[in-house]
Chain A
Amino acid sequence: MKSLRPTLVLYALPALLAAAFPRIHGVLLYERGQILGGELWRLWTGHWVHFSPSHLLWNLVVLVLAGSVLEEARPGLLLRYTLLAAPLSSAAFLVIAPAMKTYGGLSGLATGAVTLLALVKLNDGDPNRACWIAVLALVAGKFAVDATRATPLLSSFSGVGIQVSALAHFAGAVLAVVFFLSHRKGSCFPFSGSHPVSLDTPGQLPR
């Protein structure tokens, strides 16, 4: 349960609060014009705004599942990833998708959290290697579906005026890979080849 708490505090609580008070969406949402006008907090906060209950539900389910396992494996890693990936993916929207005037949703960060979890587990030499490879395949499958479908299968936005942003998922996953590699090179957690030793998880011994 300890590992669940940071995920709930970091993602679920702010997202639910934002959903409960739709009037504040205007202040939080990623809005290209406003960000370029200096409202930089939107680079972070836009991810926590959702357009429908199902939009919020599925994003949170994925984040809570992946986030709690990741938090158990590497406490604090999810927070660091979120602090960096949220503004960087928003910056990617500014550069790559100038036509997207507004954006909302945690799915980019959720895709990143899933990718980061699988990479960390594979790097840790987790015995369930096949499972984590399957998780990465699932993420790749999501990219394929995004590329072929214009609307999500089950999560429905409030209207037809909102397009699913495949870029958000892609950016989240790419940033997770970059984050993972940079931490590995920078020895934030001391990986050593295929037999990692983690200072963050003192109970784990090299096999």
Chain B
Amino acid sequence: MKTSSTRDLPRIVALGALALLLLLAFTGCMSLYGRHHHEASSVVQFLYPDKNQPFVQPQIPTLRLPLRVGVAFIPSGLGDGRGGFYRVQANFTEQQKTELLRKVAGQFKALPFVQSIEIIPTTYLRPGGGFENLDQLRAMMGIDVIALIAYDQAQNSSETEASIAYWTIVGAYVVPAQRNSTSTLMEAVVYDIPSRSLLFRAPGTSTIQNHSTLFRADYFLQEASAKGIEDASAQMTANLAQELELFKVRAKEEPQSVHIEHKPGYTGGGALDGWFAAGLGLLLLGALLQSRR
């Protein structure tokens, strides 16, 4: 005769196996949601893709006014360490890029020494195209100066201690135990193409941190990505306006760092200075006082 404990053994083994399976399944699930996403386009990787190539020595830029300026996004992709690139799935949509390019172009358009602005499609730039690629754009579109826009966004989602609630399954839906962080860096670098010289740069940064439930983490990360890009872009365009002002001052006050030439067809302005107005005012006042004596 079999005892009851002997009869229950297969059931106990089956329950144990099911428990182990569930444990493994949840562990897998949890490790799946400890995620990281990184997308970037780098100025350095675009301009200097090959470490073995000699460094391009910049010269003192000679800007022939009025300038023709190009604005472009550096193609996104991450270097493979051997001079090659692989593309990553980008959160930064083409629509967002176009809007940002328009904003940047608008800032340049307001400058009196800028003759024209060309928004250059991303497809015109090759990953790692370097200055050769810029020379081609210069010949093709007739630009002298280019504003290259690069970005770097890293997103991370990790569990907090409260993620133990995921064991209840319901907890994964209701307990905000995912800590999400999104760091975004936008940068506009303005190069004089013929001299290979960096004229100025303007960065913009954004850091967004929030908590979400496990099953809403994707949505929160997508939202944070768009917001991060928007915030960093706004900061970058504000900094760009400041840098443009500083550059105008530098171009006037430090002629040794930037040579300015005027193309045939300059704009002339008739301007009298404060000293002239003050001198005239004093002389007229002197004449008035003398005639009253």
Which residues on the B side are within 8 Å of A153 (C-beta)?
Answer: 273-275
Which residues on the A side are within 8 Å of B279 (C-beta)?
Answer: 138, 141
Please provide the chain A residues from 57 to 103 with a CB less than 8 Å away from any CB of chain B in the complex.
58-59, 61-62, 65-66, 69, 93, 97, 99-103
B286 x A131 contact (CB < 8 A): yes
B65 x A155 contact (CB < 8 A): no
- B162: interface (CB < 8 Å): no
* The residue from A47, A131, A159 contacting B270, defined by CB atoms under 8 A apart: A47
A51 x B286 contact (CB < 8 A): no
* The residue from B112, B277, B284 contacting A158, defined by CB atoms under 8 A apart: B112
| Contact pattern, A 33-55, Cβ under 8 Å of B = 1, otherwise 0 | 00000000000000100110001
* The residue from A128, A141, A152, A158 contacting B287, defined by CB atoms under 8 A apart: A128
In the complex, A127 Cα to B284 Cα: how many Å?
13
B271 x A59 contact (CB < 8 A): yes
- B111: interface (CB < 8 Å): yes
Q: How large is the interface on A (under 10, 10 to 19, 20 to 34, 35 or more residues)?
A: 35 or more
Which residues on the B side are within 8 Å of A168 (C-beta)?
Answer: 268, 270
B66 x A161 contact (CB < 8 A): yes
In the complex, A111 Cα to B284 Cα: how many Å?
15
Which residues on the B side are within 8 Å of A154 (C-beta)?
Answer: 273-275
Given contacts A69-B284, A138-B279, A108 and B112 within 8 Å (CB-CB): no
18 A-B pairs with C-beta separation under 8 A: A50-B269, A66-B284, A105-B269, A121-B287, A128-B286, A131-B283, A131-B286, A134-B283, A135-B284, A142-B276, A152-B272, A153-B275, A157-B112, A160-B252, A161-B267, A163-B262, A163-B269, A165-B268
**Known interface pairs A104-B269, A153-B275; 13 further A-B residue pairs with C-beta atoms within 8 A, sorted by A's residue number:** A51-B112, A62-B280, A66-B280, A93-B268, A101-B265, A102-B268, A104-B267, A106-B270, A126-B291, A128-B290, A131-B283, A160-B251, A167-B268
